[in-house]
Structure 1
Amino acid sequence: MKIQFGCAPINWTNDDLPSLGGELTYQQCLSEMALANYKGSEGGCKYPKDYETLKKALDLRNLVICNMWFSSNFTTFKNEETYQAFEKHMDFTYSLGARVVGVGECGVTVHGNEATPLFSKAPILTDEQMKNLAEGLNELGRRAKRKGMKVCFHYHVGTGIQTREEIDKIMSLTDPELVYMLFDTGHITVAGYDAVDLIKTYIDRVGHIHVKDVRKEVLNRLKAEDHSFLWGVKEGLFTVPGDKVPGAGTCVDWDGVFGVIKNSNYDGWIVVEAEQDPAKADPLEYAQIARAFMKEKLGC
């Protein structure tokens, strides 16, 4: 298998809620990723924006940037602003080793608002918004393809592309030669759908993978009490693959997910992106748990 394994700095300091892990340095984050035997990191809010500084820190630890989230704003029809920002983002991440760009639509998202309930206030896109999003993603895909990169669309709860129906629609409206899927086990599970069925359906279009598990007890409370996404994160909604802590009550069928990957031609990155409060869940310990579990299941 040609899979490479990475880790997201959101496990140390949360991009959507920087107070979680705000005291931790990016140097600690990168060093602990390397200690846990990962070869790549996703981008993060605390990482230096200066190329030379970040490249030096990565090289010292034999790491590369494998992907960095890019926020598009097509649902608010800010197409030209999005294209311009994408060009700069693409150039920066390519120079640090990335060959994919994970794009999340943030025009009308509620996932970053701690006071907004995730499910009762989830945005519902109009046909016009969905059409513009698809056309915008195709254009980003054309620009990425010219540079030797792939656009991987990151469906995400709270963004308007949350349900299985919404995911299927945006995938059907976009060109499979230009727009790939960023498959995320956690977000499809939180939305209430089967991660195995989704990856079976789209494995030939998957260009990047995020792995995290979901604690059922926290998810049930989030839904029943109508909380925000960030409430869930703080309460421990997510954890890593392989978490065997008693009472974790995890949801993802890992044998099913990894079985699909093993029987496919997937040759990209698998990235642990299980954002938690680092004061409650030591990032290095959980990164090691996930890496050992994936080696056991995937043999690499």
Structure 2
Amino acid sequence: MTQTSFQPDLSRNPDPRYNKLVVGTAPDSWGVWFPQDSKQIDWETTLDEMAEAGYKYIETGPFGYFPTDPATLQREMAKRGLTVIAGTQFGILHKADQWANTELEMRRNAAVLKAVGATFLIYLPPLFRSDKTWEFTDERVLSDEQWALYTANANRLGKILSDEYGITMVVHPHGDSHIETRADIDRFFADTDPQYVSFCLDTGHIVYGGEDPINIVRDYPDRIGFVHIKAMDPDLVAEAHEKDWPFGEAISRGASVTPPAGQPEMTALVDALAGLDREIIVVVEQDLYPVKFDFPLPNAIATREYLAECNLGARSTT
């Protein structure tokens, strides 16, 4: 199948750089963190509401939430006028005995993405505390040997995805992971090959890690291959770190908020992204696990409309 052909979003800003920002959405904004979970909305409703909210491009989210048979997935997308642009996948890279399983799962995901024409796989670093149980599952700080294996395997995985599937691996910072703070990101960039390891600028997780995402755009313009745009409540983020809440607890308490609330300030952020003057996929997200099922659709519409006022995407014509 041919790769996805993006149609520019018609922004109200006449500057053509803003039209290079391709806007999408993800299951995260519908409270989906896991392939299956009783607290999550069913996948058919999520797809229906993504289309109703005015989106065309989507991520598949956790592998197994949407159908993993490419023909079925493509058929369900076509029914709703949707196009898959990326998938996501957790994987353990800093433990030698986990490489085989991580490679297998990444290949399974990449094969589906390739079959439906998507060209990005978002690598989510493993968490040292579970998103679901909030219990510690790993060391909080990696040894130098573990870090060296982590980055070597990131390069290895990125090369496999690129050479064999035509997929760009974009690494996603995450609360309660070993790639969270600015120092973590600097070190990761220094130790990985930009030819094979790109970066998903998740603006909410960058704020959660104590940095302004605009600084990342300024300092690493060439490493940014993909964007998740979301906001965090700075007061709740500060409390979460002060009291050492698990990331999942911080989200359950409302740390991820609907713009224009929270940080970063979206107009300046969109301006910075447009200033890169190249096509970038910007996926609108909000961490909402768990969420009442009647919340995501009106929230997604409100968020899309607000971001359009910030020159990201087109405003509704209805």
- Give me the TM-score of the superposition, normalised by structure 1: 0.88
Deviation at 1:148, TM superposition (A): 2.3
Which one of 215, 226, 241 corresponds to residue 223 of structure 1? 241
Partner of residue 22, structure 2:
4
d(CA) in 2 for partners of 1:87 and 1:17? 17
Deviation at 1:211, TM superposition (A): 0.9
Deviation at 1:16, TM superposition (A): 4.8
Moved more, 204-213 or 281-290: 281-290
Q: Provide the identity percentage.
A: 23
Deviation at 1:54, TM superposition (A): 2.1
Deviation at 1:122, TM superposition (A): 7.4
d(CA) in 2 for partners of 1:142 and 1:95? 19
Which one of 90, 94, 105 corresponds to residue 71 of structure 1? 90
The structure-2 alpha-carbon separation of the partners of 1:9 and 1:68, relative to structure 1 and needing over 3 Å to count, comes to same
Q: Which runs of 5+ in 1 are unaligned?
A: 244-249
Which one of 204, 222, 226 corresponds to residue 186 of structure 1? 204
Where do 1:221-300 residues align within 5 Å?
221-243=239-261, 250-276=262-288, 277-279=290-292, 282-298=295-311, 300=313
Deviation at 1:18, TM superposition (A): 6.2
CA RMSD of aligned residues (A): 2.3
- Give me the TM-score of the superposition, normalised by structure 2: 0.83
3-state DSSP class of the match of 1:223? helix
Q: Count the aligned residue pairs.
A: 290
Partner of residue 93, structure 1:
113
| 1:14–1:20 CA contact under 8 A, matched in 2 | no
Which one of 61, 66, 77 corresponds to residue 47 of structure 1? 66
Deviation digits for residues 233-259 of structure 1 (CA, Å, limit 9, x no counterpart): 11111023334xxxxxx1212232111
Q: Which runs of 5+ in 2 are unaligned?
A: 1-18, 314-318
Partner of residue 247, structure 1:
none
Deviation at 1:90, TM superposition (A): 0.7
Moved more, 77-86 or 57-66: 77-86
Deviation at 1:280, TM superposition (A): 8.3
The structure-2 alpha-carbon separation of the partners of 1:4 and 1:20, relative to structure 1 and needing over 3 Å to count, comes to farther
Where do 1:106-125 residues align within 5 Å?
106=126, 109-116=128-135, 123-125=140-142
d(CA) in 1 for partners of 2:286 and 2:81? 22
